[in-house]
Structure 1
Amino acid sequence: MGNEQPNNPLHGITLERILKELRDYYGWDQMAYHININCFSNNPSLSSSLRFLRKTDWARKKVEKLYLRMIEEQNR
């Protein structure tokens, strides 16, 4: 089979890459504003955020949604 998810803009993008790009674009404070989770507002780090998001599906979905919104903003 060829590309199994041709219409999925997140296909092939790692959670680590998503977090790094969001951090560089918004910063931790703005990320915590958009998504109210402790790993963004209380001593934020890439490793603690990755650990939390890998275990917490609802939070990961919010991060992915914010990432897609960031991509949309960048393309304007």
Structure 2
Amino acid sequence: MQQSQPNNPLHGIKLATIVEELQEHYGWDGLAERIDINCFKNDPSVKSTLKFLRRTPWARSKVEALYLATFCRDNPWVKH
């Protein structure tokens, strides 16, 4: 059974989708400018980024916030 999470704007969106869409939108250099983490700067790939973000909650939070700010502007849970 799938639980409803009305207060979670990222519910149902996979981390891989978030990373792939941000990379397509900003590119690795653009991501590195916005979020200062090495997985965007040194030999970046979706696979290495996912591995890092799954182990590093503070970095994942920053990536998720950037995703929301970039693609979910009309979402009431996103503060502008």
Q: State the TM-score, normalizing by the size of structure 1.
A: 0.88
Mind listing any 5+ residue stretches in structure 2 that lack a counterpart?
76-80
Mind listing any 5+ residue stretches in structure 1 that lack a counterpart?
none
Structure with the higher fraction of residues in helix conformation: 1
Cα deviation, residue 4, structure 1: 2.5
Structure 2 distance, partners of 1:53, 1:32, is 14
**Count of residue pairs the alignment pairs up:** 75
Q: In percent, how many aligned pairs have the same letter? A: 57
Once the two structures are superposed, residues 23-68 of structure 1 have per-residue CA deviations (whole angstroms, 9 ceiling, x without a partner) of 0011100100111000001110000000000000000000000000
Cα deviation, residue 73, structure 1: 5.4
Structure 1 distance, partners of 2:51, 2:36, is 16
Cα deviation, residue 7, structure 1: 2.9
Please, what is the CA RMSD of the aligned residues? 2.0
Equivalences for residues 1-76 of structure 1 within 5 A: 3-72=3-72
Structure 1 distance, partners of 2:12, 2:2, is 14
Q: Which runs of 4 or more aligned residues in structure 1 lie more than 6 Å from their structure 2 counterparts after TM superposition?
A: none
Cα deviation, residue 6, structure 1: 1.4
